[in-house]
Structures are given as structure tokens and as C-alpha cells.
């Protein structure tokens, strides 16, 4: 992949990034800017009569404000409150949402709006994908993670006792509104967690992301930083470029899972109490070590993972005694094929590839480099 170019959004004019349209899918736009909720009704359209605003408990006021605004514009709008974070991504919560849609008389011309972080948009998209075999939905992500990862690409899903995102559907949104103003009130730990996905985009496709962060790591930790818009836009463009070519993860799209195989195992092991970005950070350090030990990745790029991630305050290690449990969980990862473990590693900066069936001793050695 080639290095991406991006012009940062300003206060008045949002940046519009197109996703899809090249692999037999309908294109949609990701808008990045400020004060974007005025764009929502236009994305919903005139054909919809009813709108369901799915939001987490933590964003009750925001969800109600959006519902009231849509009601003022003539829609039959209902707010559906769900639990915060990963607790929302269960079959029981999805069933609760389906019941609310049924009670509201939702038809195929109506629209679901998901407001919140990545877990909420994952759930909202899944509910939309499964109601009447698919209704339109719009993502309004409110976190860095939601903006650069979860809300783009159409991968929706819920968790089960066996693992993360094992039940889901590919169901692209009709549009995504990334209002940077939502990040201003985000806690520093949640904001920094989202940076793991930004840094991932830098390593797999756009090294300029890494250079911007390395130039001023402290500024990168804040939504008020001078490069916030550019960092998010570059990351979104990386994902948009990939998913436009491979909607259903049949090949190229797997590179977006860099660091995620171990990360998902850590999240399950911690019962989803760890932030996703923290787990991805450890997962990327592991993937870098795996690439190095497999003779794929040079020392300088492997070491750069640690320096960049540590500079913004992301973790580099996990518990050493948990390797047997993590290994068993990784065997049911979505990228696995039968009993064959598959990992995304780097052949060099911006050169992701698949490593199939690595030697168990190499896996253990790589984990030894990230175990606390």
C-alpha cells in the first residue's frame, strides 16, 4: 500500500472520505469535522418514517438530544439505551433492541442510528443487519476507536462466551459522522486507547502517522493537539482504502487485524475489562516480535513499535502466566483456518503479510518478549 495523503478538516467544512463503490458495494461517506449533527437528517433521507437512536447509558443526554432533534424534524424517533462498552455486545441486548424495533413498527425503509463508542456502533450495526434481514443504519462514533475503526467498513457483531465478535454480519452503514467535538470531553485513558488503532494504521500503511506522533507524543494524547484531525483522517483513509477493495475480509482486509489476534484473546481473558486499544497495543508488540523472530521484520521497525506506543502511554506487556489460555483462545480466532493459526506480521514498514502456522516455540518466544 502507498502512503496516504490527507488535508485536515477545518471548523467549517468537513472532510468527506468515500468508502466502498469498488467491490460491488454501495459507496458511503465518512464525514470528519465539527458540528456535524446537522448532516444527520440528510443521511437518513425522506423515505424513512421511523428512526431508532441506539446509545449507551453514559450518553443518555446525547442520545435523547439527538432523538428530540429528529422528532422536531418530523421523524418518529425513539431512543434505545443499552449498557456501556462491551457489556452491550450480547445476544440479550440485541434481542432487547429487536423488541424495541418491533414495538415501534420498524419497516425496511426506517433507519437505525448508533451513537457512542466502537461497542455501541458494533451492536447498532448488527441490530440493523439482522432486523428484517437488513435496514439502513448510520454511525455517529464518539470515541477515537469508534471513528477510525469500528464505524468504518461495515463489520458488525456481538460477543459470545467463546470469544469476541464471533457472531456478526458485514453490513456497511449509509454514512458515518465523526464529530471531533465529541472527543473534547473524552477521558484521557479512553482517548489514548483509541490511538492504538491510529498507530496500527501507521505501521501497516501510512508511516506519516508515526512521524506526526513521534514529533510531539504529548500533543498526540490530546484532542486539542494540532494534528488530531489529520491523524484521524489518515487512519480512516487507510481503512477506507482497504475495505473498499475487500468488504468481506476475503484477503487484503485481514491486514487491519494487525495485533488483534492476541488482543482479542487478552480481552476475553480479562472479561472485556481491558480497553480494546490497550490490548491491541500489547498485540502489536507481540506481532512485531513474532515478525522479527520469523525473519520477516527488521530490528529497527520492531523496536519502533515499543517506542511509539510507550510514548503516548499505551501498555507493552501482559501477564506471562496466561500464555496457555491465550493460545487456546487464539485457536478460535476468525483468521484461523482449521487448526492452523494465522497472524498478520510485517515484512517491513507498511508491508503487512500473513504468517501461517508459526512454530509453537517461536510463538512462545515472541510472547516471552511481551510478558510482564
Catalytically active residues are 133, 155, 197, 239, 249, 253, 257, 260, 264, 276
Spell out the residues 6+ positions from residue 125 whose beta carbon is closer than 8 angstroms to its own: 114, 137, 139, 154, 155, 156, 169, 171, 173
List C-alpha distances in Å: 325 to 267, 276, 357, 372: 12, 18, 18, 16
- Is 163 annotated in some ligand binding site? no
Quote the CA–CA distance of 144 and 224 in Å, as a whole number. 13
- Is 197 annotated in some ligand binding site? yes
- Is 99 annotated in some ligand binding site? no
Q: Are 23 and 245 contacting, i.e. CB atoms less than 8 angstroms apart?
A: yes
Cell of 140: 455517529
Task: Show the beta-strand stretches assigned E in the chain.
Answer: 15-19, 28-33, 50-56, 76-82, 111-116, 136-141, 155-160, 163-170, 175-179, 342-346, 352-356
Spell out the residues 6+ positions from residue 69 whose beta carbon is closer than 8 angstroms to its own: 37, 40
- Is 260 annotated in some ligand binding site? yes
- Is 143 annotated in some ligand binding site? yes
Quote the CA–CA distance of 201 and 93 in Å, as a whole number. 31
Quote the CA–CA distance of 49 and 46 in Å, as a whole number. 8
Question: Long-range contacts made by residues 365-369, C-beta under 8 angstroms, separation at least 24?
Answer: 365/289, 365/293, 366/286, 366/289, 366/290, 366/293, 367/262, 367/286, 367/320, 367/323, 367/326, 368/320, 369/285, 369/286, 369/289
Could you say which DSSP state residue 289 is in?
H
- Is 155 annotated in some ligand binding site? yes
**H/E stretch holding 271:** none
- Is 119 annotated in some ligand binding site? yes
- Is 227 annotated in some ligand binding site? no
- Is 291 annotated in some ligand binding site? no
Polymer length of the chain: 372
Binding residues: 118-122, 142-143, 155, 164, 197, 260, 276
Binding residues for Zn(2+): 197, 260, 276
Binding residues for NAD(+): 118-122, 142-143, 155, 164
Amino acid at each position: 500500500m502507498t502512503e496516504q495523503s490527507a488535508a485536515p478538516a477545518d471548523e467549517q467544512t468537513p472532510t468527506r472520505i468515500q468508502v466502498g463503490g469498488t467491490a460491488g458495494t454501495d459507496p458511503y461517506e465518512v464525514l470528519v469535522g465539527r458540528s456535524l449533527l446537522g448532516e444527520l437528517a440528510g443521511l437518513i433521507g425522506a423515505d424513512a418514517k421511523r428512526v431508532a437512536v441506539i446509545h449507551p447509558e453514559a450518553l443518555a443526554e446525547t442520545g435523547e438530544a439527538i432523538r428530540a432533534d429528529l422528532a422536531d424534524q418530523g421523524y418518529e424517533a425513539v431512543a434505545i439505551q443499552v449498557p456501556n462498552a462491551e457489556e452491550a455486545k450480547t445476544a440479550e441486548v440485541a434481542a432487547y433492541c429487536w423488541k424495541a424495533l418491533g414495538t415501534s413498527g420498524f419497516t425496511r425503509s426506517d433507519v437505525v442510528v448508533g451513537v457512542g463508542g466502537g461497542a455501541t456502533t458494533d451492536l447498532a450495526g448488527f441490530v440493523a443487519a439482522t432486523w428484517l434481514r437488513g435496514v439502513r443504519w448510520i454511525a455517529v462514533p464518539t470515541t477515537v476507536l469508534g471513528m477510525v475503526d469500528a464505524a468504518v467498513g461495515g463489520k458488525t457483531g456481538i460477543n459470545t462466551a467463546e470469544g469476541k465478535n464471533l457472531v456478526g454480519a458485514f453490513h456497511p452503514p449509509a454514512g458515518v459522522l465523526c464529530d471531533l467535538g465529541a472527543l473534547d470531553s473524552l477521558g484521557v485513558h479512553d482517548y489514548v486507547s483509541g490511538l492504538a488503532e491510529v498507530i496500527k494504521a501507521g505501521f501497516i500503511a501510512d508511516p506519516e502517522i508515526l512521524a506526526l506522533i513521534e514529533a510531539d507524543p504529548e500533543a498526540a494524547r490530546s484532542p486539542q493537539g494540532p494534528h488530531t484531525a489529520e491523524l484521524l483522517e489518515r487512519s480512516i483513509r487507510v481503512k477506507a482504502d482497504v475495505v473498499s477493495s475487500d468488504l468481506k475480509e476475503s484477503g487484503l482486509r485481514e491486514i487491519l487485524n494487525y495485533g488483534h489476534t492476541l488482543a482479542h484473546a487478552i480481552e476475553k481473558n480479562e472479561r472485556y475489562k481491558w480497553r480494546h486499544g490497550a490490548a491491541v497495543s500489547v498485540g502489536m508488540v507481540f506481532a512485531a516480535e513474532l515478525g522479527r523472530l520469523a525473519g520477516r521484520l527488521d530490528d529497527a521497525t520492531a523496536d519502533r513499535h515499543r517506542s511509539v506506543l510507550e510514548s503516548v502511554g499505551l501498555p507493552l506487556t501482559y501477564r506471562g502466566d496466561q500464555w496457555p489460555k491465550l493460545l487456546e483462545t487464539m485457536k478460535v480466532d476468525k483468521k484461523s483456518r482449521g487448526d492452523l493459526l494465522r497472524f498478520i506480521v510485517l515484512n517491513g514498514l507498511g508491508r503487512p503479510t500473513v504468517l501461517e502456522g508459526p512454530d509453537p516455540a517461536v510463538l512462545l518466544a515472541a510472547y516471552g518478549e511481551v510478558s510482564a
